[in-house]
Amino acid sequence: MTACLVVPRHCAVRWRAGWTRLAGLAVVNGDGLIVVDKPGGMTSHDVVARIRRLARTRRVGHGGTLDPMATGVLVIGVGRATRLLTYVIGAGKSYTATVRLGQSTVTDDAEGDVIAATPAGALTDAAIRAAFVPLTGEIDQVPSAVSAIKINGERAYKRVRDGEQVELPARRVTVSRLDVSAIRRDTPDVVDVDIDVDCSSGTYIRALARDAGLALGVGGHLTALRRTAVGSFTLAESATLATLEQRAPEVVTLPLDTAADRYFSRRQASADEAKVLSHGGPLDPVGIAGPYAVFGPDGGLIAIVSERDGRARAEIVLAPA
């Protein structure tokens, strides 16, 4: 007679790096990515804290900060997938935003106090559109002083709050697309401009608003910001926190293997290659532009690899220990 293990459906156990749930005899792995539609009023760290509670694990991180005012795509990593976030952070971003011309704020967005106001109602649509043209392509952008950039180990925004005058150096960023989709004059003395932006990681959309206002001589700041994509991850596949609450603890929407297969080029390893790579050893190169994902014969992700000096070497090993 064969013994049968019966496990209560509600029993949850910690397994390897993440949480899993036993439903009958089926084990669900909690390692993977979640594309969250972040609501306004929450920091990215607030979202991470919520996912930690829902997924029942501390091993959660995010792939690129969104300001509290902003909404939209925030990629969250759970378990071993947190190690993929370094690649997500560097991916290109897409946004829709609203720039208000005629007012400058201390933060370059609507979260800060208005520090200057100059009537903008006389600006022509042509002049407004022309002001955004120099803000496309490769540009040297000065980030907002109220930002998370560190100066000698301390966040710039903290120095500003402490009363310090902060001047950040310009950084080279790429704005590959900046389209003016609408120009609205609903409020006296200000003009609201809706824009669509595709840009490199590290681009500050509120700095674009500030610089357009400076170019026009009336000041400007950001009043709305929604991130519509991070790399290939888009709003169309995102989940709200309310939806994730209903799914908990199975909140991962892209399991680790699926996420890596989608985000990276794929290489299939033999059994011998899988063994070598899972222990950190190099493989022969195959000419794939890296980094790329290597999968074992069982279809499981082994490592993220790049080819250099005539060898294919693991940047990170993700095969279970």
Query: Residues with catalytic annotation?
Result: 67
185: three-class secondary structure by DSSP: coil
Closest CA relative to residue 51, chosen from 208, 240, 279, 235: 240
Kindly write down the DSSP assignment for every residue of 296-314, as one continuous string. -TTS-EEEEEEEETTEEEE
Strand order in 292-295's β-sheet? 265-268, 292-295, 301-308, 311-317
Query: CA geometry: angle at 208 spanning 202 and 209, to 5°?
Result: 135
DSSP 8-state class, residue 226 = E
Residues for the chain: how many in total? 321
Distances (CA, A) of 141 to 98, 209, 252, 312: 19, 12, 36, 36
CB atoms within 10 A of CB 18: 25
